[in-house]
Amino acid sequence: MYMDLIISRNPRSGEVLKEIPKSPIQSLPLVFERASRAQALWSKLSVKKRAQKLLQLREVLCRKVDELAAVIHEENGKPVIEAYICEILPAIELLTYFSGIAPSKLKDKNIKLRNPLLRYRKSTLTYWPLGTVAVISPWNYPFFLAFGDIAVAVLTGNAVVFKPSEFSSQVGLKIQELFDEAGFPTDLVQTLCGEGDLGAAIIDQKPAKIFFTGSVRTGKAIMKQASQNLTPVTLELGGKDAMIVLPDADLDYASSAALWGGYTNSGQACASVERLIVHESIAKRFAELLKEKLTHLTPGVDLGVVTMDKQKQIYEEHLLDAREKGAEFICGGIMSGDRTRMIPTLVGGAAIENTKIYNEETFGPVIAMTTFRTVQEAIQKANNSPYGLLASVITSNLSLGEEVARELHVGSVMINEVLFSAGLPETPWGGLKDSGIGRKHAEMGLYEFVNVRHINRPVMNFFSFKSLWWFPYSENQREFFRAWIRLYQGGWFEKLANTPHFLWCLVKFLKGEPRL
């Protein structure tokens, strides 16, 4: 009975919330055909009109926040307040920001050609939709991460085939409802429910681009499959994000930053603080403060549950490895009695840097802590990772904090803050190394959803003027281009000295052989 159904469960109780029919893979050609027809009409609207439609979507979203937060809470397990803070509010901000900037940022852009001999021509950049794109989203932030990609995709004139995680299919269907209720064209956004085989089949349909958020392993598989058709990808993958606490940091502030950065959404975020790199002079007091603050977090209010059972296996593997290698458990390190939660864990000690829990993405309410003596040592430790998504620096010296930030090999650095950079639509979001390819948000992210076309044309029609580099090649032509190259040589005195020879060569060349 269950083979053709997605079973949506409450991760706290295991209760079946809903049985959702799987989207048939054999229907995908028709899905993409309908999307193509819808996209062809939708893309004819001006960017301004599409932006106005995004504001209508915002109105629908604002009316449904409580209903949506309840579904996120039930299916994902995060506290309702985190659904507001980390999912719905950032989505509203994103709609507001992109609807405001898109009309100007997607206008044709003129490029001034620097060389005076080419000023009779002009260059223009134009932007046009990709077509039908695929959005494949994760379960940890099931609303915001998917919704943001879909919203920007349609704003830029694309159609979307959307596959939510099989662990958050109800949230995915709620996203579909929002676009339908806001009056977007039928088939412009189509939500398909299924597992990994459906995602692979979507890629085989050759979408114009794939936007994937999820694990490194799946991201690499998607990239390999997409390469068969040279399908471009934007990948937002994992992280093992470091927080450097410099010796001048306010320890109350720093420990509170680590508390929220490491344990919000039960640590199930690629941008979570998973590594603490604390100056040795303050490490003991810092750990004491963080441990004490952890005792005040209330399960079900501050702390959600572990959404996926297979994550529990990763936690146990990492914890066992840490124990076997002699790491020090400052607090936590066990599952709750009902196994729905991982007790918030802080682990350190001299052996910590050789453990899986320090080097591999745990994706749970676990922080591994080490120490440093010099700033350069802290930077080296932070950069010594296969990931490069986000890092934080906590310090009273903002100038020093920025110096450190400029040496960290990550996509974003937050000074005296943690994690929430991913929710800022004005700033680019994405990582290096195993953390992904491409950027979301900001003007940079907007251009991930469009093709860029360069058009070069004469300022006026000069059909009688043929370009200087056209056939036939001649000795006069060679001398002219050689004189042109010499104008780049040396300082201004030398350039001025070479100018008369250049002008003489130009005149001689223009009086010579006509262009073919």
Alpha-carbon gap, residue 136 to 143, rounded angstroms: 12
Alpha-carbon gap, residue 334 to 73, rounded angstroms: 24
Residue type, 173: L
Q: Are 164 and 142 in contact, with CB atoms under 8 Å apart? A: yes
Q: Is 270 a catalytic residue?
A: yes
**Tokens 């309840």 sit on residue:** 70
Task: Tell me the two tokens of residue 80.
Answer: 């309702």
Give the CA radius of gyration of the chain. Answer: 28
Task: Tell me the two tokens of residue 365.
Answer: 């309410």
Number of H helices, E strands in the chain: 18, 20
DSSP-derived pairing of the beta strands 5-9 and 16-21: antiparallel
3-state secondary structure of 230: coil
Nearest residue to 291 (alpha-carbon basis) of 315, 324, 262: 262
DSSP-derived pairing of the beta strands 121-129 and 210-213: unpaired
Nearest residue to 254 (alpha-carbon basis) of 238, 243, 264, 270: 243
Alpha-carbon gap, residue 130 to 459, rounded angstroms: 29
Among candidate residues 87, 270, 360, 479, the one labeled active-site is 270
What letter does residue 335 receive in the DSSP assignment?
B
Name all contacts of 337-341 with Cβ < 8 Å and 24+ positions apart. Answer: 339/312, 340/11, 340/12, 340/77, 340/305, 340/306, 341/266, 341/299, 341/303, 341/305, 341/306, 341/365
Alpha-carbon gap, residue 478 to 466, rounded angstroms: 17
Task: Tell me the two tokens of residue 14.
Answer: 């295991």
What letter does residue 75 receive in the DSSP assignment?
H
Could you tell me the sign of the dihedral formed by the alpha carbons of 221, 227, 229, 232, in that order? positive
Task: Tell me the two tokens of residue 184.
Answer: 């977007």
Q: Is 236 a catalytic residue?
A: yes
Q: Are 345 and 368 in contact, with CB atoms under 8 Å apart? A: no
Among candidate residues 236, 274, 353, 361, the one labeled active-site is 236
User: Which residues form the catalytic set?
Assistant: 236, 270
